[in-house]
A and B are shown apart, each in its own frame.
Chain A
Amino acid sequence: MLRDITLGQYYNTSSPLHDMDPRTKILGVIFYMVVLFMASSVWEYALAALFTAFVIKLSRVPISFITRGLKPLVMIMGFTLALNLLMTSTGNELFHWWIFRVTDDGVALAVKMAVRLVLLVMGTSLLTLTTSPIALTGGIERLLSPLSRIGVPSHEIAMMMSIALRFIPTIMEETDKIIKAQTSRGADFESGNLIQRVKAMIPILVPLFAGAFRRADELAVAMECRCYNGGAGRTSLRELRFRRIDAMALIVGVVLLAAMIGLKILAAGGIA
């Protein structure tokens, strides 16, 4: 189950998308989301879907890997689908059952919402699939850095993200070990009512937090020993370089946005 969540995972390969500057990709995703939420007609959706397919192809991430990421979202999608299907009252009635009325408008809306969600998840997960965590944090830091003038701690945010990413596997391993150790002491995490189960978590949570604090403490000393002093005057081994491919990607993004607006104007003209 945990392994099905591809959101946030990095797929290591080389592709034009992998080579892009993380800043471009972050901006691209923001663009993409705007476009998706603007879409309303079938043609607009078709354009967005075509674009998504093109980018997936470009990323060289196997489609099966991306669709696997949709699995945990089936519940949410089913829910929105049902909601849209049953709660839309405009349009021609197709059939009704008990207090519910299903209309053609409702069906259209439900399908659109489902497509929008699928595209949204597939498109945004491409950001993390093609960008290593460290490049991602670097990109976020740079994008936020103009904001540090108005007091946003952009370096600290990026450093925190990077350390969190570094320690997630270590803490996961530790959690596994603590659970096993307490199981070996006869702890029972599976039976009893809700309160008993919450109480049963204490032997796991206390050592876990104590361990996290201990690690944080040691890490802080180790960082100080290596002359860490916040973001001021820092250089970086990683190079963020805005290249031709990034310029091209941004142009494509603008074109896509323009096309979307164009389609909207066309549709408006059609109605009038």
Chain B
Amino acid sequence: MNAAATSMPPSLAVAGLRISAGGKVLVPGLSLTIGRGEIVGMVGASGSGKTISAFSLARLLPDTLTQSGEISLEGERIDRLSESEMRKVRGGRIGMVFQDPLSSFNPLRTVGSILVESICRHQRLPARQARELAIDTLATMRLPGRKASVDAYPHMLSGGQRQRAMIGLALVNRPALIIADEPTTALDPTIQLQILALLRHQASSAACLFITHDIGAASAICDRLAVMNEGEIVEEGPTDRLLASPTHPFTRELLSHAPGGARFR
């Protein structure tokens, strides 16, 4: 790491994040740092606490869950922001990609108008410029036909195309952090690979937290992996190191069940 990089605050710094439901502690104390341009994979089985941890970063937990601990975005504490201030952060400085775009996109709105609304809210651009930006963004996401995809309703796109549009929406306001929660899980394997390639390239301007149960998908694009079990990071390290010599039994378990994790022959 060079001097300029060390003097810059990390894109995301989480310290002592604690999440509980009533008296039950779900995440006892999570700490994680992601630098600019870095993709970190948070990997674990269902129920390991990875999704609630990710949602808590954008302060999106349901009222039944309480969170405490420090969350800093580019050096600024966002855990203390009011709800109305958080609304400016979500979709702006934090972009989000979910598993199923069909259920997170409004079915009555065109993909273009969903992007335009987000651009107008966060960048205060006039409508015409916002539309230009939406068109450019969808083209950068390699959606076919400039006009066609802007004016398409979500159901008119294929699963892979919808996920491209969703990544476009997450990136359109140039966020500091992208949280991608199982973005490839609902897709065919070959389309998964396309979306992973897109995410890796396009997210390079931000920091990205990639949540998945699929250690194979995470390994394809992540610089570092954090393996979660029962609300705690049990092992964390550079992807190559972690895959080649996993130390925690749970990491080995995840690898042994992944399609490419055990010897094929």
Q: Do A and B make up one complex?
A: no
The residues of A with any CB-CB pair to B shorter than 8 Å are none
The residues of B with any CB-CB pair to A shorter than 8 Å are none
